[in-house]
Chains A and B, each alone.
Chain A
Amino acid sequence: MSDELSILVIDDNKIRASIIEQGLRDAGHEKVILVDQMDWLVRQISEINPDVIVIDLENPNRDQLEHMFQVSRAVRRPIAMFVDKADSHSIEAAVDAGVSAYIVDGLKRERVKPILDMAISRFRAFSKLSEELEEVRTELADRKTIDRAKGILMRSKGLSEQEAYDLLRRTAMNQSRKIIEVAQSLVIASGLLGD
């Protein structure tokens, strides 16, 4: 077990994070931890002691994170960005896709490259689907998205239409989000995970 990589995914977009997590698990990685907020991140990282950190580029805390890797006594092992500085193709692909990765120094390139490639392709797929959804949203009323989400819930959980709507509403209330946001997330996730 000791040679199993532990992977930390930092992304405040919970849906995207879970899509990455699923991809990593499908690839056989068991030690995947998701973090969606930066509070106590130093402590969390020192406890998790990850080999690989995947972070979205929209995250405004990247400067803080990089500084922590450089100086913090809490992080036990030196962490560098990406697999290999010479691997400019991977770096460009990652920045294009909107994701960045930090890797404990000394890890073999062959072990980490597939993780980064997977993150890049899932980020791309997510932005593609996000764009498609944005188009759908401008074409149709929000109502239709909610209908689609209801349909997904009715099919996958065997709910009635009213029960599906209630579940969406309850989830939205619990997460202090709008119903339409919950429905959008569900539609994206369902498209990616194959409902």
Chain B
Amino acid sequence: MDTNLRPVIAGFIPLLDSAVVVAAAEKGFAEQEGIALKLIRETSWANIRDRISVGHFDVAHMLAPMPIAASLNLTSLAVPMRAPMLLGLGGNAITVSTGLWSDMARAGADPFGDPASTGKALADVIAVRQEADAPLLHFGVVHPFSGHAYELRYWLAAAGIDPDRDVEITVLAPQVMADALKGGQLDGYCVGEPWNTAAVDAGTGRIATYKQAIWPDSPEKVLGVTEKWAHANPETLAALMRAFSAAADWCADLRNNAELADILSRPDILGCPAETCLAALSGQLRLGPNTKKSVPGFLSFASGVKAAPMPAHGKWFYRQMVRWGQAAHSEAALKDVEKVFAPEAYLSALGLEDVVTDVVIEMFDGEKF
């Protein structure tokens, strides 16, 4: 290896949307930008947070709300962080047990996953259960500060379901979700692929709706860096973002899908069958045993302008933290959040100009942020 390369250590969680980080290291994009990218696989988001905080990692593949939670001192080992680039958009879905789905279907749930329709059907099912004094339905998410948690809560609340009173939400590791659904510990969950398809394939789950329908083209994973590292290494960070952007273009090219699936399936990366990765990369969802749906942009690897973090993205996550009692509202915190999700470093590294950065977010229920 060229000794003139700048070493960068990146932590990642073995998920489909670690593809950009993995491809940057495996396909030479990092090296082309003068970086020797070393990847370290981790087993929990808590480890990612701890190890970037103590400096084991320079950068990490992170849940989009995590750098915000760290900057606002809402978690252990909190240090000010930045999310200078988005690594993946979409990719999540909400799966319910086949038993719950048949109740929802009888209540008129759209078989193709329209979130307003499936949410209303779930609300009707819950109302009937409450009259019968049936136990609360249990839902799983992978982390309290995650897109999954906020998407599930937004979908429930939009249908008039109180996520804290009408259901119970617990945290579980993604790879055990499908088993928990099968074993009856969970009635539903919101998780990234392939853990929704896994339940559909096993005949135990039915996809009710998905992230791309709830909030189209929304950030899921980000590049996470500490403020300290970003300030000390501006050139390395810029080069790294150029490498990730090029890797994202490569990942997004359908002609590379098979090779990408092969790389991701390796035992040292995801360690799952290549076909499982491939199915989710193509956006051809199987919502149920006989219901297929093509969802353009179901999971997209962000490059170009799409990878720029926008203050509106950060503020949406922060508003959900406030809405669900994880954070207190303050104008000072909003200003901090704007710094975490600031697009300038990325746009300047990529040489992108005249980009509109005051975007408006529109949710499936017509709410604008």
Contact = CB atoms under 8 A, between A and B. Distances in A.
B171 A64 contact: yes
A88 B175 CA distance: 32
B54 A92 contact: yes
Interface residues of B, number: 21
Interface stretch (A52-60, A107-115, A167-175): A52-60
Given A70-B144, A91-B77, A63 B44 contact: yes
B47 A62 contact: yes
A63 B77 contact: no
A97 to B, nearest CB: 11
Contacts of B173: 60-61, 63-64
A59 B44 CA distance: 8
Given A57-B50, A59-B43, A67 B76 contact: no
Nearest to A98: B47
A95 B142 contact: no
A63 B171 contact: yes
Nearest to B75: A66
Most buried by A among B53, B76, B143, B170: B76
A88 B53 CA distance: 10
B77 A81 contact: yes
Interface string B46-73: 1100110111100000000000000000
A184 interface: no
Interface of B: 43-47, 50-51, 53-56, 76-77, 142-144, 170-173, 175
A contacts with B: majority SS: helix
15 contacts: A58-B43, A60-B43, A60-B44, A62-B47, A63-B142, A63-B143, A64-B171, A66-B144, A66-B171, A81-B76, A91-B50, A95-B50, A95-B54, A95-B56, A100-B46
A152 B209 CA distance: 59
A85 B46 CA distance: 16
Contacts of B55: 92
Interface in A41-88: 57-64, 66-68, 70-71, 80-82, 85, 88
Nearest to B325: A71
Nearest to A67: B171
Contact of A80 (B45, B76, B142): B76
B76 A63 contact: no
A61 B143 CA distance: 11
B108 to A, nearest CB: 33
A104 to B, nearest CB: 14
Contacts of A80: 76
Interface in A80-135: 80-82, 85, 88, 91-92, 95-96, 100
B80 to A, nearest CB: 14
Most buried by B among A59, A62, A70, A92: A62
Contacts of B175: 60
Contacts of B54: 88, 91-92, 95-96
Given A62-B43, A92-B55, 18 more contacts: A57-B44, A57-B50, A60-B175, A63-B44, A63-B143, A63-B171, A63-B173, A64-B170, A67-B144, A68-B171, A80-B76, A85-B76, A88-B54, A95-B50, A95-B51, A95-B56, A96-B54, A100-B46
B223 to A, nearest CB: 20
A88 B228 CA distance: 16
Interface string A175-191: 00000000000000000
